[in-house]
Structure 1
Amino acid sequence: MKKKVLIYLYPQFREFEVINALSIIGKKYDVLTFAHVSGPIDSECGLLIQPMMKTRKVDPLEYEMIIIPGGKQVGSQTIPNVINLLKSFNKENIKIATIGNGILILGRAGILDGKSYTHSLDESELQKGQIFLNGMLKSKAIVEDKNLLTARSNAYIPFGLTIGKILHCFDNLEEYNFYKGATVSISK
């Protein structure tokens, strides 16, 4: 039986930020989706995805990691069940990975307190979320601190690679380089 990774879906989430990570981990982990609402979720590009379960059905102890993608509406995600679920993942020291402005929901959950992080918030998003961002902002593309992994939106490839390393998804350097986009010379 494969181990499991969970991804949170909400309206207008940015699928491109997590697609590399999902491709990497999908070989060795079951990737399960959840949402707070029933029915298909419309991603930023218009892709409709049917979540596998609702928030209340999630048991954090069944998962190795939860991934929170960024997106236009993540700042409005103040749903108590989702916030409490993220707190449970953190309390159990389960890996939490977010990219872009997905950091806002972790700030609302108090998960950033005392931890280093990075984000891709524009000025208006930053002003709205500033009261929740109680950790230590680092000017890096990727930041790991304890059970938390954060990345800027444009670091989606390193984000996926880092998740792959954390979860031991690469069998060899060639596989890692494939996802990194490294060119391999082929002898004739």
Structure 2
Amino acid sequence: MNSLGGESGLSCVPDTTIDEINIDEIDSLLFPGCMDIMSLNYEERFFDFIKKVSGNVKIIASISSSPFLLAKAGVLSGKNYTVGMTEEQRDQVGVFEKENYSAELVVQDGNLITARGRGFIRFGICLGKALNLKFDENWYRE
């Protein structure tokens, strides 16, 4: 057990559910990656939520394995993207457009920012700029 009460890692308790969220109050979406992203593969309510909200938000940012969620929801359609999955994994899940994949660490296409996990510093800087946050990007080191 760790100090957070779990076996390992960080625990997170949600403030609300996707059914209770006022979509008009959301200005951006941020999706972290995780080791077991495929456990969400059949959560259609979640993908419906992503589709519904994606048209109303200023920025959608997704890193590591989580661009899978955007692809499955149709948000990556016609967009340049990257993801922390191998070509074999991308082919296996069958939701990614091969022609729009980039091997870059961070890819921004309009209001969509995607990144591979090891690009987390560049991803954070890109997201901060997209949200017009004030920060010293030189403080962060790769």
**Fold match (TM-score > 0.5):** yes
Which residue identity does 2:20 align to in structure 1? K
Answer yes or no: is 1:70 the counterpart of 2:30.
no
Q: Select the residue among 154, 172, 175 that pairs with 2:118.
A: 154
Superimposed CA distance per residue, residues 131-152 of structure 1 (whole angstroms, 9 cap, x where no aligned partner): 2112600121111112211001
Cα 1:138/1:122, change in 2 over 3 Å: closer
Listed as ranges, the gaps of 5+ residues in structure 2 are none
- Give 1:123 deviation, angstroms: 5.0
Indicate conservation of the 8 Å contact 2:27/2:56, yes or no: no
| Pair 1:119 & 2:56 matched | no
Cα deviation for residue 108 of structure 1 reads 0.8
Give the number of the structure whose residues are more often strand, by fraction: 1
CA distance in 1, matches of 2:55, 2:79: 14
SS in structure 1 of the partner of residue 120 of structure 2: helix
Mapped to 1, the partners of 2:10 and 2:103 lie a distance apart of 32
For residues 74-133 of structure 1, what are the alpha-carbon distances to aligned partners after superposition, in whole Å with 9 as ceiling and x for unaligned?
12313122111110122225321100110111111011111100011035532332x211
Corresponding residue number in structure 2 for 1:128: 92
Over the residues paired in the alignment, what is the CA RMSD in angstroms? 2.3
Name structure 1 gaps, 5 residues minimum: 1-39, 183-188
- 2:128 is aligned with 1:167: no
**Which of 53, 56, 63 is the aligned partner of 1:89?**
53
CA distance in 1, matches of 2:23, 2:109: 19
Q: Which residue of 1 aligns with 2:141?
A: 181
Aligned residues: 136
Identity of aligned residues (%): 25
Residues 27 and 57, structure 2, Cα contact 8 Å, conserved in 1: no
- Write the distance in 2 (CA, Å) between the matches of 1:59 and 1:147: 21
Output the CA distance in 2 between the equivalents of 1:168 and 1:157: 17
Is contact 2:72-2:95 (8 Å) kept?
Answer: yes
- Checking the alignment, whether the CA contact within 8 Å between 1:116 and 1:144 is kept in structure 2 is yes
Residue identity matched to 1:75? M
- TM-score, scaled relative to structure 1: 0.65
Q: Distance in 1 between matches of 2:87 and 2:128?
A: 31
